Chain A
Amino acid sequence: MTDTATEAAGRHAGGAMRELADDPSSRKRFLRMMGGAGAASAFAIFMAACGDDEDEGSGGSGAATTTEKKAATGRDLEIVQYALTLEHLETDFYNAVIDAGIIKDKALGDTAKMIRDNEQEHVDALTATVEQLGGKPMRPKTTFDAVLEGGPDMVLQTAATVENLGAAAYLGQAGRIESKEILAAALAIHSVEGRHAAALNTVVGKTIVPDGAFAKPASMAEVLPKVKPFLA
């Protein structure tokens, strides 16, 4: 099910992911989890139930030791960590924008808060999933000063860019995910990112479907350099 180019891209991106993992601020993640939402815990229960089929998957490696055709693998863990990194980035971005009071329009501000809440739910759910898989959740350190200094237009343009990129990033991983349960979860998030992207495209006067009738995927190797400016 894999082609070598995709695998090579994944390995390359894997190095970048490990770089992010070394960030000491990842230990602060627990602060973030204090307000875990109901949806996130439902998700965690869902994920927990997935692992119970054969055994608890108790080793530190995170690779489930079942003989199931589509059980979670080390690659799944890497993909969930990658998604978690992107969701942290999005959540941090909206929090920075909201805290800075840059968006004056009431309706737009409400939309930004709603999207932020969605992203926080994604962070909580993915964090729980990483732990379920035996991994240590990633928590990148982010910076958006340059964007905030650019003013409201730059903030909205960046939001649209990040959401379109996020949607493409999930789509780029769908075919690589081994576990059906993780795939289902990723899809549930993927389409919400697509909704965000369409709404923000509308706000900045772009078409809701920049790729036409078929959304284009983006690989880890394509996505990570684009988010690097936001990583402190």
Chain B
Amino acid sequence: MSHEQLVAPELAAIDVQGISRQSFIMRGAVAAGAVYGLGAVGPFVRQAIAQEGGGDVDILNFALTLEYLEAAFYNQGLKRVGDLSGDAKSLATEIRDNEIEHVAALAKTIESLGGMPVKAPGVDFGNAFANQKSFLKLAQTFEDTGVSAYNGAAPAIESTEVLAAAGSIVQVEARHAAAIRLLNGQPISDGGFDKSLEMQAVLDAVKPFVKS
């Protein structure tokens, strides 16, 4: 139900992950609003909202894709990184288990809304598992990106229940991010406000790790 026939072929890439063109327009407009002032894009945003049909399902499928990626990342890392410290191993295990729960909950929610959950993407994490340092470095990127992805998508969620679920998950992603950052000797946050990312920016960021 969430997939539509795309009129403009150049938008096909956006729909690959199960995200509608309307959602993307919406996200882009909100992002533009953050930069140029909401007054400029207000009517555009309202139009995008009005056009949205299965918007929540699209957002949930977007989130599901990210959670699949994260779960696979920690699963493989736990098996393949040779020099994991006890702390890193127990943290990665705890996070992996959380991500698996997120995958299950998101898939179930999509089905309950009458949607079709996307399949787990093929993944390739390159040399990330060479050692603990490279593993935790990419882990930090994934967790920070996950936080920004949820924060960026959440305001477009229609259902209060779906919003509550997304909020509940993003807080856990933020907790993961902080814990990984502590292990990496990094500050736990970049300032007082977590950035939000529009879907396309998130998809671009994770594209190197998705193998179709």
Contact with A along B34-45 (1 / 0, CB 8 A): 100111101100
A190: interface (CB < 8 Å): yes
Knowing A202-B179, A213-B97, the reply to whether A167 touches B171 (Cβ < 8 A) is yes
Pair B151/A191 contact, Cβ less than 8 Å: yes
Pair B178/A121 contact, Cβ less than 8 Å: no
B:37-92 near A, CB below 8 Å: 37-40, 42-43, 46, 49, 91
Knowing A111-B188, A188-B194, A202-B182, the reply to whether A208 touches B171 (Cβ < 8 A) is no
What residues of chain A lie closer than 8 Å to B182, measured between beta carbons?
Answer: 199, 202
Closest to A174 in B: B167
Task: Kindly specify which of A26-34, A150-158, A175-183 makes contact with the partner chain.
Answer: A175-183
A184: interface (CB < 8 Å): yes
A9: interface (CB < 8 Å): no
How many B residues touch A, CB cutoff 8 Å? 54
Pair B172/A214 contact, Cβ less than 8 Å: yes
Knowing A49-B38, A195-B178, A199-B188, the reply to whether A187 touches B105 (Cβ < 8 A) is no
CB distance from A49 to the nearest CB of B (A): 4
A:67-91 near B, CB below 8 Å: 68-69
A2 to B163, CA, bound (A): 13
Contact with A along B158-181 (1 / 0, CB 8 A): 001101110111111111111101
B155: interface (CB < 8 Å): yes
Listed residue (B49, B165, B187, B195) with the most chain A CB atoms within 10 angstroms of its CB:
B187
B102: interface (CB < 8 Å): yes
Pair B175/A217 contact, Cβ less than 8 Å: no
What residues of chain B lie closer than 8 Å to A211, measured between beta carbons?
Answer: 172
Taking a contact as CB atoms closer than 8 A, the residue among B161, B171, B191 that contacts A39 in the complex is: B191
Pair B164/A217 contact, Cβ less than 8 Å: yes
B111: interface (CB < 8 Å): no
Task: Kindly specify which of A14-22, A98-106, A112-120 makes contact with the partner chain.
Answer: A112-120
Contact with B along A193-232 (1 / 0, CB 8 A): 0111111011000011101111111000000000000000
What residues of chain B lie closer than 8 Å to A208, measured between beta carbons?
Answer: 91, 94, 175-176, 178-179
B154: interface (CB < 8 Å): yes
CB distance from A115 to the nearest CB of B (A): 8
Contact with A along B10-22 (1 / 0, CB 8 A): 0000000000000
CB distance from B159 to the nearest CB of A (A): 8
Listed residue (A49, A114, A117, A120) with the most chain B CB atoms within 10 angstroms of its CB:
A49
What residues of chain B lie closer than 8 Å to A184, measured between beta carbons?
Answer: 30, 151, 154-155, 196
Knowing A194-B172, A198-B178, A215-B171, the reply to whether A121 touches B191 (Cβ < 8 A) is yes
A:107-142 near B, CB below 8 Å: 111, 114, 117-122, 125
A175 to B161, CA, bound (A): 8
Pair B160/A114 contact, Cβ less than 8 Å: no
Taking a contact as CB atoms closer than 8 A, the residue among A1, A191, A199 that contacts B171 in the complex is: A191
Pair B193/A189 contact, Cβ less than 8 Å: yes
Taking a contact as CB atoms closer than 8 A, the residue among B39, B101, B160, B163 that contacts A212 in the complex is: B101
Knowing A53-B38, A195-B188, the reply to whether A187 touches B174 (Cβ < 8 A) is no
Pair B101/A187 contact, Cβ less than 8 Å: no
Pair A190/B164 contact, Cβ less than 8 Å: no
B interface residues with partner A (beta carbon < 8 Å): 30, 33-34, 37-40, 42-43, 46, 49, 91, 94, 97-99, 101-102, 105, 147, 150-151, 154-156, 160-161, 163-165, 167-179, 181-182, 187-189, 191-196
Question: Could you give 6 example pairs across A and B, Cβ below 8 Å?
Answer: A46-B38, A194-B174, A197-B175, A208-B179, A213-B99, A213-B102
Nearest 3 pairs of A and B residues by beta carbon: A121-B192, A49-B37, A198-B175
